[in-house]
């Protein structure tokens, strides 16, 4: 009797044994997607070991229910990579494999399987006499005409739409010999793809030539190499990616390009498709399951040598990629949180490249401190493009950034207004000249943080140098790193002012303020509300690109990857917003955002200006952004991180306990903390303390953060955590423990 060992998407790190019915035996091989019974459920899993023989006696294993014969088996490389993911990110192999299958296919439904369509062909040797009945005659006549015009086979749907009738009519005509019905596979993916527009291939400028040369050498060597491409906004990074892709394709090789979901704009996609046409498969999170299934199948069959997509594309079944590109590598959205595997796609890109002897390019105008540290230590080769693409020989200038100090805008005091006179005038001038403005409202500023409306002072934890977070139910401030609590101050701790406010101004309010102060200016708003529908994000950008509005107003979404030549002004409503968040990367995020959004101004011939509204112009982050000084910022940020043993100076693991009862959950977290302490004495830990979102969906959450010095190997930390987990025993049914390796952002 043949058996297979299958990995299932369950949080248990083991394989499950199933019997293989005779009919399925020839399909069994590692990497095959199968459907199996599990308790009362059906689950889709991946075959890990096949061709095993078992003695039937004493075997309780159940039969495999179905095999997905259409989806090519996952290549060995991906089986190995997902095994690595499972180990490193501490999840089950089956969970890691789930991320490598077309999303939606972990349920054992037939929904996303191959679809066929009925195609109708005229039978030239059919009966001479027409069929009886007007409808049948009409169908045969129409089909004959199309056939003569070489337009057959034609889809059943089209034929019936033209002539009326039903499937039964067609079947009857097929029986009579007038026509053939053939089932043809549908490719829901290629049906969705837009047309290709040709574009010019510019002459590279010197910094690009140098970057492309080094990348080409690495590609030709056939051995692993990673590059950090640090190029200011508009320096021509995308052109470098395109040339590297050309080299890979000329050698007949494959590639993966990761971009943040938000940058998957029609503009970006067009640029890649105009060079590589139908070789490119674009994945995005809004694809329907069926479309995605067909995309995955096409990639696995080798029909699309270039795959572009957000983080999940790093696990696409591309055969042996020679080149992996991560654009905007600093983006937090490359980290997956729920469900497991909690992987970082940028880090996985480097690992996958390493395993394949491939070339990896990480590109950004504001590289993450992790990648910068890797470049400095020699793990990555740094490629610098410090200037914008030249126009007529001289590099285009970075925009001038000017500060608007909101403290000297008395007319805003005591009002809900958020726009300084200078910014309003700037918008008006641009609109009159037929130019455009982008206004950024940083939504991360909506955290409940108190702030002095006179000087911008924010209450901070005495021990941790992070801002205290306001908790309304208890009316206190708390540090989310050490747990200290305080009563909210009634006066500013810096200037004594009595007016302490909560940060945040909504995009809607800003929109109405604009309507009131500049009634003739046309505004488009882009935030979560206006982009919830499929395609609406692209629709808004398209309209703005066509000049249907003077102002594009929005959250972070407006900051990234856009390239509009008419935009000459960028306004930032509150530059400090987000600095106060209790996140070790808060300052890095704000610096990146300010730099990125500033880069939207003056991308073409027209000079750009950025107006940065703030109340604390002396803040180092704002000063560095003002001077376009990435290295200055990175220098001081790295020093702080290393003093506190935060990444990249060390690693972190977050362990989150959540349960319906607050004290019991905390108790469990604390017991776990003691178990970890005794096993990993050289690892620092913070907490357990209430998570940033303490109560979520009626569950209380407590977080333990491990700070791991660089000299402690990851494998030892893993063992320590696993041993502590075993010692803790099984958790009460309602309590969950979530391990997040290299966490990013707040939980």
The answer to whether residue 602 forms part of the interface with ligand ADP (CB under 6 A) is no
Phi, psi (rounded to 5 degrees) for 669:
-60, -40
Minimal distance in Å, beta carbon 359 to ligand ADP?
Answer: 18
Q: Is 372 helix (H, G, I), strand (E, B) or coil?
A: helix
The answer to whether residue 231 forms part of the interface with ligand ADP (CB under 6 A) is yes
Retrieve residue 4's tokens. Answer: 């297979």
The answer to whether residue 367 forms part of the interface with ligand ADP (CB under 6 A) is no
Q: Which of 233, 312, 374, 555 binds ligand ADP (CB under 6 A)?
A: 233
* Only segment of 462-470, 624-632, 643-651, 655-663 that touches Zn ion (CB under 5 A): 462-470
Centre a 10 Å sphere on the Cβ of residue 675 and count the other Cβ atoms it contains. 18
Minimal distance in Å, beta carbon 201 to ligand ADP?
Answer: 9
Nearer to ligand ADP, 19 or 541 (CB): 541
Q: Which of 205, 297, 342, 430 binds ligand ADP (CB under 6 A)?
A: 205
* Only segment of 127-135, 493-501, 573-581, 616-624 that touches Zn ion (CB under 5 A): 493-501
Residue with tokens 């990896």: 360
Closest CA to 564 of 541, 549, 550, 545: 545
Residue pair 382/228 in contact (Cβ under 8 Å)? The answer is yes
Euclidean distance between CA atoms 231 and 557, whole angstroms: 21
The answer to whether residue 480 forms part of the interface with ligand ADP (CB under 6 A) is no
Q: Spell out the alpha helix ranges (H) of 502-650.
A: 507-517, 536-545, 586-598, 620-626, 630-643
Q: Which of 68, 239, 331, 742 binds ligand ADP (CB under 6 A)?
A: 239
Query: Among Zn ion, ligand ADP, none, what does residue 233 contact (CB within 5–8 Å per kind)?
Result: ligand ADP
**3-state helix vs strand vs coil in the chain, percent to 5:** 35, 25, 40
The answer to whether residue 263 forms part of the interface with ligand ADP (CB under 6 A) is no
Q: Which of 106, 136, 169, 238 binds ligand ADP (CB under 6 A)?
A: 238
The answer to whether residue 584 forms part of the interface with Zn ion (CB under 5 A) is no
Q: Which of 236, 305, 608, 743 binds ligand ADP (CB under 6 A)?
A: 236
Retrieve residue 610's tokens. Answer: 């950025």
Q: Which of 482, 604, 727, 746 binds Zn ion (CB under 5 A)?
A: 482
649 sits in the region (left: phi over 0; alpha: psi -120 to 50; else beta) called alpha
Count of chain residues binding ligand ADP (CB under 6 A): 15
Residue pair 652/646 in contact (Cβ under 8 Å)? The answer is yes
Helices (H) and strands (E) in the chain, counts: 19, 33
Q: Is 555 helix (H, G, I), strand (E, B) or coil?
A: coil
The answer to whether residue 174 forms part of the interface with ligand ADP (CB under 6 A) is no
Query: Among ligand ADP, Zn ion, none, what does residue 479 contact (CB within 5–8 Å per kind)?
Result: Zn ion
Q: Which of 74, 228, 441, 461 binds Zn ion (CB under 5 A)?
A: 461
Euclidean distance between CA atoms 603 and 438, whole angstroms: 13
Query: Among ligand ADP, Zn ion, none, what does residue 452 contact (CB within 5–8 Å per kind)?
Result: Zn ion
Nearer to ligand ADP, 205 or 589 (CB): 205
Euclidean distance between CA atoms 238 and 691, whole angstroms: 39
Crossing angle of helices 156-163/167-175, nearest 10°?
Answer: 100
* Only segment of 6-14, 90-98, 200-208, 284-292 that touches ligand ADP (CB under 6 A): 200-208
Binding pattern to ligand ADP, positions 554-593, x when CB under 6 A? ---------x------------------------------
Q: Which of 497, 619, 664, 718 binds Zn ion (CB under 5 A)?
A: 497
Contacts with ligand ADP in 46-105 (CB under 6 A)?
Answer: none
Q: Which of 98, 237, 444, 701 binds ligand ADP (CB under 6 A)?
A: 237
Contacts with Zn ion in 18-47 (CB under 5 A)?
Answer: none
Q: Which of 276, 304, 457, 646 binds Zn ion (CB under 5 A)?
A: 457
Residue pair 62/38 in contact (Cβ under 8 Å)? The answer is no
Euclidean distance between CA atoms 387 and 205, whole angstroms: 10
Euclidean distance between CA atoms 602 and 565, whole angstroms: 7
Minimal distance in Å, beta carbon 294 to Zn ion?
Answer: 51
The answer to whether residue 581 forms part of the interface with Zn ion (CB under 5 A) is no
Residue pair 354/321 in contact (Cβ under 8 Å)? The answer is no
Q: Which of 21, 51, 127, 202 binds ligand ADP (CB under 6 A)?
A: 202
Minimal distance in Å, beta carbon 237 to ligand ADP?
Answer: 3
* Only segment of 6-14, 25-33, 86-94, 232-240 that touches ligand ADP (CB under 6 A): 232-240
Residue with tokens 């889709």: 44
The answer to whether residue 389 forms part of the interface with ligand ADP (CB under 6 A) is yes
The answer to whether residue 495 forms part of the interface with Zn ion (CB under 5 A) is yes
Q: Spell out the alpha helix ranges (H) of 61-199.
A: 76-88, 93-100, 134-148, 156-163, 167-175
The answer to whether residue 208 forms part of the interface with ligand ADP (CB under 6 A) is yes
The answer to whether residue 275 forms part of the interface with ligand ADP (CB under 6 A) is no
The answer to whether residue 686 forms part of the interface with Zn ion (CB under 5 A) is no
Q: Which residues of 607-634 are buried (b: 16+ CB within 10 A; e: fewer)?
A: ebbbbbbbbbbebebbebbbebebeebb
Closest CA to 308 of 270, 251, 365: 270
Q: Which of 204, 482, 727, 736 binds ligand ADP (CB under 6 A)?
A: 204
* Only segment of 162-170, 463-471, 630-638, 659-667 that touches Zn ion (CB under 5 A): 463-471
The answer to whether residue 234 forms part of the interface with ligand ADP (CB under 6 A) is yes
Euclidean distance between CA atoms 605 and 603, whole angstroms: 7
Q: Which residues bind ligand ADP (CB under 6 A)?
A: 202-205, 208, 231, 233-239, 389, 563
């Amino acid at each position: 009797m043949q058996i297979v060992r299958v990995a299932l998407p369950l949080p248990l790190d083991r394989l499950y044994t199933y019997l293989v019915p005779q009919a399925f035996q020839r399909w069994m091989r590692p990497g095959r997607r199968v459907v199996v019974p599990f308790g009362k459920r059906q689950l889709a899993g991946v075959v890990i070991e096949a061709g095993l023989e078992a003695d039937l006696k004493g075997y309780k294993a159940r039969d495999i229910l179905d095999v997905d014969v259409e989806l090519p088996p996952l290549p060995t490389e991906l089986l190995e990579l997902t095994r690595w993911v499972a180990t490193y990110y501490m999840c089950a192999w089956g969970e890691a494999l789930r991320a490598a299958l077309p999303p939606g296919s972990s349920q054992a439904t037939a929904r996303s399987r191959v679809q066929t369509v009925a195609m109708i062909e005229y039978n030239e040797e059919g009966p001479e006499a027409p069929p009886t009945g007007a409808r049948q005659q009409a169908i045969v006549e129409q089909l004959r005409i199309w056939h003569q015009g070489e337009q057959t086979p034609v889809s059943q749907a089209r034929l019936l739409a033209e002539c009326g009738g039903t499937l039964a009519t067609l079947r009857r005509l097929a029986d009579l010999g007038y026509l053939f019905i053939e089932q043809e596979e549908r490719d829901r993916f290629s049906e969705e793809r837009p047309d290709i527009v040709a574009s010019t291939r510019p002459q590279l400028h010197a910094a690009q030539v140098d970057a492309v040369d080094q990348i080409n050498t690495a590609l030709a060597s056939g051995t692993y190499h990673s590059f950090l491409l640090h190029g200011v906004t508009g320096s021509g990074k995308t052109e470098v990616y395109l040339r590297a892709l050309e080299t890979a394709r000329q050698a007949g090789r494959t590639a993966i390009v990761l971009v943040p979901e938000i940058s998957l704009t029609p503009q970006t996609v067009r640029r890649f498709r105009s060079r590589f046409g139908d070789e490119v498969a674009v994945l995005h999170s809004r694809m329907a399951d069926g479309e995605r299934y067909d995309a995955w199948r096409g990639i696995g069959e080798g029909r699309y040598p270039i795959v572009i997509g957000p983080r999940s594309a790093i696990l696409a079944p591309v055969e042996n990629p020679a080149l992996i590109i991560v654009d905007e590598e600093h983006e937090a959205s490359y980290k997956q949180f729920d469900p497991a595997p909690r992987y970082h796609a940028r880090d996985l890109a480097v690992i996958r490249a390493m395993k394949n002897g491939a070339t990896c390019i990480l590109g950004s105008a504001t590289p993450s401190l992790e990648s910068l540290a890797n470049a400095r230590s020699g793990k990555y080769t740094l490629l610098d493009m410090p200037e914008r693409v030249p126009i007529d020989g001289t590099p285009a200038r970075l925009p001038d950034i000017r500060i608007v100090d909101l403290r000297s805008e008395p007319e805003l005091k005591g009002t809900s207004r958020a726009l300084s006179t200078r910014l309003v005038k700037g918008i008006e001038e641009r609109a009159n000249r037929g130019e455009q403005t982008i206004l950024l409202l940083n939504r991360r500023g909506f955290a409940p943080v108190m702030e002095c409306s006179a000087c911008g002072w924010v209450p901070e934890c005495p021990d941790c140098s992070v801002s205290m977070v306001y908790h309304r139910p208890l009316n206190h401030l708390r540090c989310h790193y050490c747990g200290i609590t305080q009563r909210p101050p009634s006066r500013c701790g810096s200037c004594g002012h009595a007016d302490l406010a909560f940060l945040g101004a909504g995009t809607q309010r800003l929109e109405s303020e604009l309507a009131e102060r500049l009634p003739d200016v046309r505004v488009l708003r882009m935030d979560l509300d206006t982009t919830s529908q499929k395609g609406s994000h692209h629709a808004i950008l398209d309209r703005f690109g066509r000049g249907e509005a003077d102002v594009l107003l929005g959250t972070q979404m407006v900051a990234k990857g856009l390239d509009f030549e008419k935009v000459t002004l960028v306004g930032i409503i509150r530059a400090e917003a987000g600095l106060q968040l209790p996140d070790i990367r808060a300052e890095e995020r704000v610096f990146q955002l300010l730099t990125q959004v500033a880069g939207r101004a003056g991308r073409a011939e027209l000079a750009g200006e950025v107006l940065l509204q703030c109340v604390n112009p002396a803040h180092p982050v704002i000063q560095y952004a003002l001077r376009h000084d990435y290295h200055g910022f990175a220098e001081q940020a790295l020093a702080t991180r290393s003093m506190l043993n935060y990444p990249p100076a060390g690693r972190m693991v977050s362990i989150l306990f959540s349960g319906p009862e607050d004290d019991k959950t905390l108790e469990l977290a604390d017991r776990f903390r003691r178990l970890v302490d005794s096993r990993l004495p050289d690892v620092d830990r913070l907490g357990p303390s209430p998570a940033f979102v303490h109560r979520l969906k009626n569950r209380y959450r407590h977080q333990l953060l491990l700070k791991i010095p660089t000299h402690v190997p990851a494998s030892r930390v893993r063992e320590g955590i696993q041993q502590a987990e075993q010692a803790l025993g099984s958790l009460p049914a309602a309590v969950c423990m979530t391990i997040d390796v290299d966490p990013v952002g707040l939980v």
